[in-house]
Structure 1
Amino acid sequence: MAIPTSPKERNLNASAAVAAAVVPAAGRGERLGPGAPKALRELGGVPLLVHAVRALARSRAVGLVVVAAPADGVAEVAALLDSHGLDGKDIKVVAGGATRQESVRLGLAAVPAEFDVVLVHDAARPLVPVDVVDAVAAAVRGGAVAVVPGVPLADTVKRVVPQPGAPEPVLDTPDRACLRAVQTPQGFRHATLSEVHEKALAEEAGGTLPPVTDDAGLVEHYGGQVVVVPGHEEAFKVTRPLDLVLAEAVLARRRASDGF
């Protein structure tokens, strides 16, 4: 895999496509059941991670993809991506961490400063359309500091008092017209994402960081403005066995219609 090595080469890449993408792929994904790490589970005979990296590589806005792999599997993941012909873009594999947040931070550290925009994409969202990738990158280039793709909710949502395993009292019913299910890739100004991760690392060490499930949540936590652009129903996250069945169906339809 070609990796930019000189400042001149990196500048050429950055000027052609200002976005780099970080793919945290070090988690095991226990909800999918026993077996290989979630990112290496197969969809249509190809690992989820390969599908996700291909989706990013198809975007003309992306010039570098950094994959944060399991610490003991960096060479394996690099060989896997190489074996699937992902050599049209610069791809770098680094050791990830014990948490998603740590993996993003470690992946971000491998992104050259010349890239003004950084996208963060879940390896478990293998079928995100390239239009969504392009739209997120374009919104950051247009001036937003943090951008997430999102889709309206089809179901009514209840806010409850959590009581796992027991009936849970309902507190209220939010207006779903104001709610969005957030997807990835999420896009950020490079400086903004680096800053919030540095602050989070310090807060985490002090035990004061509240639970945050995505990078946009970190930006919100530190007072930044996050905006939503339209996502896509096929950018869903493969988390449970039923999601994998749905992904197989979507992939089969794509392959039948356009040779995907």
Structure 2
Amino acid sequence: MPTLAVLTAAGSGSRLGMDLPKALVELEGLPLVVHAARRLCASGVVDSLVVTTPPGLTAHVAAMLWSDPGVDRPVRAVEGAGTRQASVAAGLRAGLAERDPAAAGQLPPAGGGAEVDVVLVHDAARPLASPELVRRVVDAVRAGHGAVVPGLPVTDTIKRVAPGADGVERVTQTVDRAALRAVQTPQGFDRALLERAHAAAVHREGDESLAATDDAGLVEDLGVDVHVVPGETAAAKITTVHDLRVAALTLQEAR
């Protein structure tokens, strides 16, 4: 049964301070979205991709991925929405729908949307998540865990705080970090479970203050268990220029 990957690339990347969307920012000569798509394809467990794009850039991103030799799976590009949750929902609908293959030259998901049984949701802002990590997540879903996220142990001391005077917060608790995990992507799901989670939260997706920041949170809201597999430092999220420099160093060291 096929696995669909929804690759979110619709963010503005304003904190990077550049005049183009984050997914199109180059890392060692390649846009972040291309790095991420290449690694999804290299995993060998992804059969098709849907990429959500900034407004007006769908054709550009699609052409970029179709022409890249490292992206060797069918790709569809769709315009993202105002929140991450809404963008993922749009990508999910597009990836699972039966589409005319000739429409805008885009290819349908391998095997047809109706046959997809596992869905990955991944962020182009984590361009160096390895093929091994992708396989680890998909293998765990196929082993019977309906929702799976990669996570790393938290190494910093964590304090719970309360508001204080003059902007100085008061510590109320030191949190036990042994049971804490910093969650990454790709996140993997049983297709039916992810569809149900998004349907239950559709009323939130248009409001940035209410929309989910990750899809596992939507599954948790259903009362369904989410499971964690080991993450990796290479899957760090790129948010700032410093993060971009660290990612470049990671690539250089890997070579």
Normalised by the size of structure 1, how large is the TM-score? Answer: 0.86
Q: How does 1:187-206 map onto structure 2 within 5 Å?
A: 187-203=188-204
Q: Distance in 1 between matches of 2:182 and 2:153?
A: 6
- What residue in structure 2 maps to residue 184 of structure 1? 185
**Deviation at residue 79 of structure 1 after TM alignment:** 1.4
**Deviation at residue 34 of structure 1 after TM alignment:** 2.9
Q: Distance in 2 between matches of 1:94 and 1:228?
A: 29
Q: How does 1:1-260 map onto structure 2 within 5 Å?
A: 15=1, 18-111=2-95, 112-161=113-162, 166-203=167-204, 210=210, 212-254=212-254, 256=255
**Deviation at residue 118 of structure 1 after TM alignment:** 0.2
Q: Distance in 2 between matches of 1:157 and 1:150?
A: 17
**Deviation at residue 168 of structure 1 after TM alignment:** 1.4
Cα pair distance change 1:66/1:165, threshold 3 Å: farther
**Deviation at residue 212 of structure 1 after TM alignment:** 2.6
**Deviation at residue 204 of structure 1 after TM alignment:** 5.2
1:77-97 C-alpha deviation (Å, 9 max, x unpaired) = 011112322452111111111
1:178-231 C-alpha deviation (Å, 9 max, x unpaired) = 1000000000011111111111113557x8x94531100111112111000000
The number of residues matched between the two structures is: 237
Q: Distance in 2 between matches of 1:22 and 1:116?
A: 13
- What residue in structure 1 maps to residue 101 of structure 2? none
Residues 151 and 231 in structure 2, CA contact (< 8 A), matched pair in contact too: yes
Give 3-state SS (helix, strand or coil) of 1:62's partner. coil
Aligned-pair identity (%): 50
Question: One-letter code of the match for 2:227?
Answer: V
Residues 41 and 71 in structure 2, CA contact (< 8 A), matched pair in contact too: no
Q: Distance in 1 between matches of 2:49 and 2:26?
A: 20
Cα pair distance change 1:30/1:113, threshold 3 Å: same
Q: Distance in 2 between matches of 1:220 and 1:122?
A: 20
**Deviation at residue 233 of structure 1 after TM alignment:** 0.9
Residues 4 and 116 in structure 2, CA contact (< 8 A), matched pair in contact too: yes
1:105-152 C-alpha deviation (Å, 9 max, x unpaired) = 000002212110000001000111111100100111111111000011
**Deviation at residue 162 of structure 1 after TM alignment:** 5.3
Q: Distance in 1 between matches of 2:184 and 2:253?
A: 22
Q: Distance in 2 between matches of 1:43 and 1:236?
A: 14
Question: One-letter code of the match for 1:222?
Answer: L
Q: Distance in 1 between matches of 2:210 and 2:23?
A: 27
Unpaired stretches in structure 2, ≥5 consecutive residues? 96-112
Q: Distance in 2 between matches of 1:151 and 1:143?
A: 22
Q: Distance in 2 between matches of 1:226 and 1:240?
A: 29
1:20-41 C-alpha deviation (Å, 9 max, x unpaired) = 1001111101111132100111
Question: One-letter code of the match for 2:31?
Answer: P
Residues 136 and 229 in structure 1, CA contact (< 8 A), matched pair in contact too: yes
Q: Distance in 2 between matches of 1:165 and 1:46?
A: 45
Question: One-letter code of the match for 1:219?
Answer: V
Farther off after superposition, 78-87 or 237-246: 78-87
Residues 153 and 180 in structure 1, CA contact (< 8 A), matched pair in contact too: yes
**Deviation at residue 171 of structure 1 after TM alignment:** 1.9
- What residue in structure 1 maps to residue 106 of structure 2? none
Q: Distance in 2 between matches of 1:146 and 1:23?
A: 17
Residues 27 and 98 in structure 1, CA contact (< 8 A), matched pair in contact too: no
